[in-house]
Amino acid sequence: MTIRDPDGFTLVEHDPKTGRSVWSYFDGQKDIYRVDYPVDETIKENAEARASAASNWKGDYHRIASIPLNIVHASGFAEAITQQDDKFLSKFLNDSDNRAWRTKDGKV
């Protein structure tokens, strides 16, 4: 059985454990692939952690974010970690567009 989405992409692979889905589309000249990752649960868990986190930053260790791996790699975050680019990491984590990945408020 072939499964297609409304945009004409065909389901190639689905992992029920992770929810990851790989889709393909032939545009007449080349194959285009799209990989979908469910993030709703991560966003919900991060919001709950953020809401219950203490407002002060005491101690040595703080989990400040949970970011899906596809975003870590696509955004340049992984490369910034490798390069120890603290400026990029801070800018990414402090950007309001990335608030869904934060588990603690404040500035990094």
Q: Over the stretch 18-72, which tens digit does the pLDDT of each residue have?
A: 899 999 999 999 999 999 999 999 999 999 999 988 776 677 788 899 999 889 9
Answer yes or no: are the C-beta atoms of 100 and 43 closer than 8 Å: yes
Supply 57's token pair.
């930053």
pLDDT band at residue 7 under the 50/70/90 scheme? very high
Distance of CA 37 to the CA centre of its chain: 8
pLDDT higher than threshold 90 for residue 6? yes
Alpha carbon distance, N-terminus to C-terminus of the chain = 49
User: 24: helix, coil or strand?
Assistant: strand
| Whole-number pLDDT of residue 100 | 96
Q: What is the model's pTM? A: 0.74
Determine the pLDDT at residue 101. 97
Nearest alpha-carbon partner for 23 in 47, 31, 69 = 31
